[in-house]
A and B are shown apart, each in its own frame.
Chain A
Amino acid sequence: MNMPALLTIAHLTLHDARRRKILSAAAACGAVFLAVFWTVSFFVARDLEQNPPSFLQRQINLVILSLFGLYAANFLSVLLASLLPVDALSGEIDSGVMQTLASKPVRRADIVLGKWLGFGTVIVLYFLALAAGVLGATRWIAGYQQLNVWIAIPLMLLELVVMHTISIAGGTRLGTVTNGIMTIGVYGAAWIGGWVEQLGTIGGIQSARAIGVTVSLFSPADSMWRLAAYYLQPDIVRSLGNAGPFAGGSVPSALMVWWALGFTAAALAFAVYSFGRRQL
């Protein structure tokens, strides 16, 4: 690995990404979302102060508020992780930009890893900014200290890295639009798989649960959110047991974290292998 070349590619990727419309659009969406969330937090906090419920009900309301905020931040970041790098390789191959880059004395692997690192940095910073906005609002406006943030945030970051790596890997073989559809499809499958798994668990339908778990193995992104959501909730909220994005009905195993890490490493290895053999 040629670290200076890799870092130069990452720098170039960062430089290019910050001037792209998709990042501007994502930043604008994130700003609007945070403005809405802060406003909602303000009114929730005021209502809770004017009409104080029981302590338990207050905690439940604030946990749900915080979970909604983090879920939305996570979802926006997943979209960015899926779509920002979607043309990182395919677009540059199609346009011919890659010819100038790949004719330099750099390994193809350094190009893939540099782009992965560059886009990964943007995505991680984006999510951390949104998450900080959500946690700041719940902490300073609504007065709720979110539980297990230091476990949940890395899990959500891992979900983003999984999606971003899938998008990069797809770009070594697929065209830009096809890759975008594939990446969103993979996330959609994971999301549906998570629901099916939960419904199977709550309803005692073993086949549905098995299908959901199998889908999660092929697409482990959403299970990272569900694991994070589990840690973000106190026992009392988990025990409500509803189906939905925050439900604790079916909690992914901790082994799923290792699976997601391995999945990411395998997808990245595929990206390096595939791009190395791509005719430019």
Chain B
Amino acid sequence: MIERVIDARGLRKSFGETLAVDDLSLTVGAGEVFGFLGPNGAGKTTSIKMLLALVTPDEGEGEVLGAPIGSREARARVGFLPEHCRFHDSLTARELVRFHGRLHGLRGEALETRIDRLLVRVDLLDAADRPLRGYSKGMLQRAGLAQALVNDPRLVFLDEPTSGLDPLGRLLVRDILGELRSNGVSVFLNSHLLGEVEATCDRVAFVKQGRVVHQLTLGAAPSSFEVEIRAVPLDPPVLEGLARFGTIVGRPGEDRVLLRVAGDAVLPDVSRWLVGQNVQLFELRGRRKSLEEWFVDVMGDDQRPG
């Protein structure tokens, strides 16, 4: 049993003068749904391409599913849905999945059964024998997902898998991701839709200018819980006392303070302490920091467009 399905160390790639990926070092565990986040041009797609041997790294090394990055042995157990779902559009969805299955060495009845099962799963059975050129973007995306899963992969790379899908299509992808996770399949998900990532991923990495700058375990991040307190007075001794419970991260107003704490278990202690100090407590509201807020914090203002 491989514990790490991806172990990349110092991958670097330049295209001419442009540095696309500076130092990609990350690990993804078996059965983990891993989100890969960053602004446009951060090197996310290039990173995936390096892990799939579509692009050769200038430096660095690593393993995918225990085999050297880019090796055929690794690619045999990997599925990939590229960002822009472009396939031979003269093929039907059934033919597409069949051809890609054959490239994995699959043949005969076993392949045909698997094709039917996948087409049902991505809700394309009715359109399975129509050429892809007549498909909508969402249908192409689902056909692409079927070809990515034809070899029963142990690791799936999905580059913006829900970008062309309507809400029902997104739900379908989310369900499939859940099934993959429950089957122990690892997923490397590159998406701009942070809500989707938050709903599906176990862990995320933030990429900035070709470098992983922060990693976060979703739902269990010790520093992701914030409490907003409205109380009077919030003078220096009170603030000093509050700092014992966590980190003061903001003062939205004279009577407000934003405190980052380990979790909601600390809230009764905070309220008890404030009342004990004769502070008038008007409001105490705890909330988990959203992935979008994390994203903005980690990326900083220099990554905002304009």
How many whole Å from A256's CB to the nearest CB in chain B? 38
Return the CB mask of A93-115 against B: 1 if under 8 Å, else 0: 00111011111111100000000
**Do A4 and B54 have beta carbons less than 8 Å apart?**
no
| Range class of the A interface residue count | 20 to 34
CA separation between A224 and B266, bound complex, in Å?
87
A211 at interface, CB cutoff 8 A: no
How many whole Å from B67's CB to the nearest CB in chain A? 11
CA separation between A101 and B73, bound complex, in Å?
15
Of A12-20, A149-157, A199-207, the one contacting chain B is A12-20
Given contacts A103-B53, A103-B54, A279-B54, contact A95 B86 (CB under 8 A): yes
Query: In the complex, which residue of chain B has the Cβ closest to the Cβ of A12?
Result: B99
B residues in contact with A104, CB < 8 Å: 75, 100, 103-104
**Do B147 and A100 have beta carbons less than 8 Å apart?**
yes
Within 8 A of B (CB), among A1-25: 4-5, 8-9, 11-12, 15-16, 19-20
B residues in contact with A96, CB < 8 Å: 82-84, 86
Partner of A4, one of B53, B73, B82, B105: B105
A280 at interface, CB cutoff 8 A: yes
Query: In the complex, which residue of chain B has the Cβ closest to the Cβ of A7?
Result: B102
CA separation between A8 and B88, bound complex, in Å?
14
B115 at interface, CB cutoff 8 A: no
**Do A12 and B75 have beta carbons less than 8 Å apart?**
no
B55 at interface, CB cutoff 8 A: yes
How many whole Å from A97's CB to the nearest CB in chain B? 5
CA separation between A99 and B72, bound complex, in Å?
15
B49 at interface, CB cutoff 8 A: yes
Given contacts A8-B102, A100-B147, A105-B75, contact A280 B54 (CB under 8 A): yes
**Do B82 and A105 have beta carbons less than 8 Å apart?**
no
B residues in contact with A102, CB < 8 Å: 53-54
**Do A100 and B80 have beta carbons less than 8 Å apart?**
yes
Return the CB mask of B41-85 against A: 1 if under 8 Å, else 0: 000000001001111100000000000000011011010101110
**Do B80 and A12 have beta carbons less than 8 Å apart?**
no
B interface size (C-beta, 8 A): 30
Query: In the complex, which residue of chain B has the Cβ closest to the Cβ of A9?
Result: B103
Partner of B103, one of A95, A101, A277: A101
Given contacts A16-B91, A99-B54, contact A106 B103 (CB under 8 A): yes
**Do A5 and B103 have beta carbons less than 8 Å apart?**
yes
B residues in contact with A277, CB < 8 Å: 56
A residues in contact with B90, CB < 8 Å: 15-16, 19-20
Partner of B104, one of A19, A105, A279, A280: A105
How many whole Å from B256's CB to the nearest CB in chain A? 50
CA separation between A178 and B197, bound complex, in Å?
42
CA separation between A279 and B15, bound complex, in Å?
9
A residues in contact with B83, CB < 8 Å: 96
B273 at interface, CB cutoff 8 A: no
Partner of A97, one of B15, B54, B86: B86
Query: In the complex, which residue of chain A has the Cβ closest to the Cβ of B71?
Result: A105
How many whole Å from B46's CB to the nearest CB in chain A? 9
**Do B88 and A16 have beta carbons less than 8 Å apart?**
yes
CA separation between A83 and B99, bound complex, in Å?
25
Within 8 A of A (CB), among B86-114: 86-88, 90-91, 95, 99-100, 102-105
CA separation between A52 and B145, bound complex, in Å?
71
Return the CB mask of B20-52 against A: 1 if under 8 Å, else 0: 000000000000000000000000000001001
B144 at interface, CB cutoff 8 A: yes
A residues in contact with B147, CB < 8 Å: 100
A residues in contact with B144, CB < 8 Å: 100
How many whole Å from A19's CB to the nearest CB in chain B? 4
How many whole Å from B275's CB to the nearest CB in chain A? 61
A residues in contact with B72, CB < 8 Å: 105-107
**Do B87 and A97 have beta carbons less than 8 Å apart?**
yes
**Do B105 and A103 have beta carbons less than 8 Å apart?**
no
How many whole Å from B163's CB to the nearest CB in chain A? 14
**Do B54 and A8 have beta carbons less than 8 Å apart?**
no
How many whole Å from B86's CB to the nearest CB in chain A? 4
A residues in contact with B88, CB < 8 Å: 12, 15-16, 97
A residues in contact with B86, CB < 8 Å: 95-97
CA separation between A8 and B103, bound complex, in Å?
7
CA separation between A74 and B121, bound complex, in Å?
50
Partner of B80, one of A11, A19, A97, A99: A99
**Do A4 and B91 have beta carbons less than 8 Å apart?**
no
How many whole Å from A136's CB to the nearest CB in chain B? 32
**Do B103 and A99 have beta carbons less than 8 Å apart?**
no
Query: In the complex, which residue of chain B has the Cβ closest to the Cβ of A107?
Result: B72
How many whole Å from A229's CB to the nearest CB in chain B? 37
Between A and B, 28 residue pairs with Cβ closer than 8 Å are: A5-B103, A8-B99, A8-B102, A8-B103, A9-B103, A12-B88, A15-B88, A15-B90, A15-B91, A16-B91, A95-B84, A95-B86, A97-B86, A97-B87, A99-B54, A100-B82, A100-B87, A100-B100, A100-B144, A103-B52, A103-B53, A103-B54, A104-B103, A105-B72, A105-B104, A105-B105, A279-B55, A279-B56
- Top 5 A-B residue pairs of the complex, sorted by shortest distance between their CB atoms: A19-B90, A105-B76, A104-B103, A280-B54, A105-B72
